[in-house]
Amino acid sequence: MKPELFCRAADVAFGRLSRRDFIGRAAALGVGGAMANTMIADAVLAAGPMKGGTIRMGLQGGSTTDSIDPALVTNQVGLMVTRMWGEPLVELSDGGGLEGKVAESFEGSSDASVWTFRIRQGITFSNGKTVTAEDVAQSLIRHSGEESKSGALGIMRSVTNVRADGNDVIVELDGPNADLPYLMADYHLIIQPGGGMDDPAAAIGTGPYVLKDVEMGVRFVAEKNPNHWGDFGNADTLEVIVINDNTARVAALRSGQVDMIDRVPPRTAGLVASSPGITVHTTAGPGHYVFIMHCNTAPFDNNDLRLALKHGINRQEMVEKILSGYGSVGNDTPINSSYPLYTEFEQREYDPDKARFHMEKSGHDGPVLLRTSENSFPGAPDAAALFQQSCAGAGINIEIKREPNDGYWTEVWNKQPFSTSYWGGRPTQDQMFTTAYLSSADWNDTRFFNDTFDQLLFAARAEIDVAKRTQMYADMGTILRDEGGLICPMFNDFVDATSDRISGWVDGSAGFALMNSYAPHRMWVTG
Q: Is residue 280 domain-resident?
A: no
CA angle 271, 389, 332 (to 5 degrees): 80
Mean pLDDT estimate for the chain: 92
Mean pLDDT along residues 157-175: 96
| CA nearest neighbour of 88 among 120, 115, 58 | 120
Amino acid in the structure at residue 447: R
309-327 pLDDT tens trace: 999 999 999 999 999 989 9
Calpha distance 189→412 (Å, rounded): 24
Q: Is residue 68 domain-resident?
A: no
CA angle 173, 176, 179 (to 5 degrees): 95
Same-domain check for residues 271 and 294: no
Domain span at residue 35 reads 3-47
Q: For residue 274, what pLDDT is reported?
A: 94
Same-domain check for residues 473 and 329: yes
Q: For residue 97, what pLDDT is reported?
A: 85
328-354 pLDDT tens trace: 999 999 999 988 889 999 999 999 999
Same-domain check for residues 339 and 412: yes
Q: Is residue 344 domain-resident?
A: yes
Q: Is residue 126 domain-resident?
A: yes
pTM of structure: 0.82
Same-domain check for residues 16 and 104: no
Same-domain check for residues 415 and 316: yes
Q: Is residue 81 domain-resident?
A: no
Return all residues near 263 (Cβ < 8 A) that are at least 6 apart.
60, 76, 246, 249, 378, 495, 496, 513
Same-domain check for residues 109 and 172: yes
CA angle 214, 123, 47 (to 5 degrees): 75
Q: Is residue 388 domain-resident?
A: yes
pLDDT band at 1 (very low <50, low <70, confident <90, very high): very low
Same-domain check for residues 504 and 460: no
Same-domain check for residues 417 and 453: yes
Mean pLDDT along residues 45-49: 69
Q: Is residue 386 domain-resident?
A: yes
Q: Is residue 378 domain-resident?
A: yes
Same-domain check for residues 500 and 487: no
Same-domain check for residues 140 and 168: yes
Same-domain check for residues 238 and 296: no
Q: For residue 196, what pLDDT is reported?
A: 97
Q: For residue 351, what pLDDT is reported?
A: 98
Give the domain-ending residue among 137, 162, 196.
196
Return all residues near 460 (Cβ < 8 A) that are at least 6 apart.
429, 430, 469, 472, 473, 476
Instruction: State the number of CA atoms in the 13 A half-sphere of 417 facing the CB.
Output: 12
196-210 pLDDT tens trace: 999 999 999 999 999
CATH number of the domain enclosing 160: 3.90.76.10
Q: For residue 2, what pLDDT is reported?
A: 52
| DSSP 8-class letter at 244 | -
Mean pLDDT along residues 17-30: 66
Q: Which of 75-79, 294-298, 380-384, 507-511 has the least mean pLDDT? A: 507-511
Q: For residue 193, what pLDDT is reported?
A: 98
CA distances from 177 to 89, 428, 436, 449 (A): 17, 12, 18, 22
The crossing angle, in degrees rounded to 10, of helices 466-483 and 303-311 is 90
Give the domain-ending residue among 135, 163, 196.
196
Calpha distance 366→102 (Å, rounded): 54
Same-domain check for residues 372 and 432: yes
pLDDT at 277 over 60: yes
Q: For residue 465, what pLDDT is reported?
A: 87
pLDDT at 5 over 90: no
CATH number of the domain enclosing 445: 3.10.105.10
351-381 pLDDT tens trace: 999 999 999 999 999 999 999 999 999 899 9
114 in Cβ contact with 174 (< 8 Å): no
Q: For residue 6, what pLDDT is reported?
A: 54
Q: For residue 26, what pLDDT is reported?
A: 66
Count of Cβ atoms closer than 10 Å to residue 439 Cβ: 14
In the chain, how many domains are there?
4
